[in-house]
């Protein structure tokens, strides 16, 4: 026959086992571009050091050089150019040296000012900062009054 104290000990032991199992460390993994939390280690192909800003800039310069490289006449005449969707005009930054440079950041939450967001929208590829397409980036975070606030 079980006594009250032995039943209480048994219940407490089970409770501790459940709590310790559910409190196991979770791993934050990036799988197919989505952040997931899992108890198992992240897949090996996702692991590795993040590229530095210098590496990202070097890759962007390489892509830009490749995109602006002249195409031989025989290739350009034989291959019709694919139709591209119309591109909206983006605000331009003032001429001259800039304190900003494309470094792989794409979202408003990664910016530190309206001026920086405007630079990224005008000069950097694949940014996601102008949800309504009016040419004013980060209206919720940085550029609340359109072009008036920098």
| H-run or E-run covering 76 | helix 73-78
Interval 29-38: pLDDT, tens: 777 667 777 7
Q: Look at the pTM and tell me if it is higher than 0.75.
A: no
Q: Does position 1 have pLDDT exceeding 50, yes or no?
A: yes
User: Is the Cα dihedral 94, 110, 108, 122 positive or negative?
Assistant: positive
Give domain limits for the chain: 91-150
Interval 53-112: pLDDT, tens: 888 888 888 888 877 666 565 555 555 555 555 555 454 444 456 789 999 999 999 999
């Amino acid at each position: 026959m079980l006594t009250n104290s032995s039943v209480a000990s048994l219940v407490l032991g089970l409770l501790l086992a459940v709590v310790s199992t559910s409190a196991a460390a979770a791993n934050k993994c990036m799988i197919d571009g989505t952040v997931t939390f899992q108890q198992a280690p992240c897949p090996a192909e996702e692991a590795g050091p993040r590229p530095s800003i210098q590496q990202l800039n070097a890759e962007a310069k390489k892509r830009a050089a490749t995109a602006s490289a002249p195409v031989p006449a025989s290739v350009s005449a034989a291959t019709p150019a694919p139709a591209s969707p119309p591109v909206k005009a983006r605000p331009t930054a003032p001429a001259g040296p800039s304190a900003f440079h494309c470094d792989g950041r794409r979202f408003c939450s990664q910016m530190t000012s309206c001026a920086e967001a405007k630079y990224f929208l005008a000069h950097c590829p694949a940014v996601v900062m102008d949800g309504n397409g009016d040419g004013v980036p980060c209206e919720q975070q940085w550029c609340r009054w359109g072009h008036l606030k920098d």
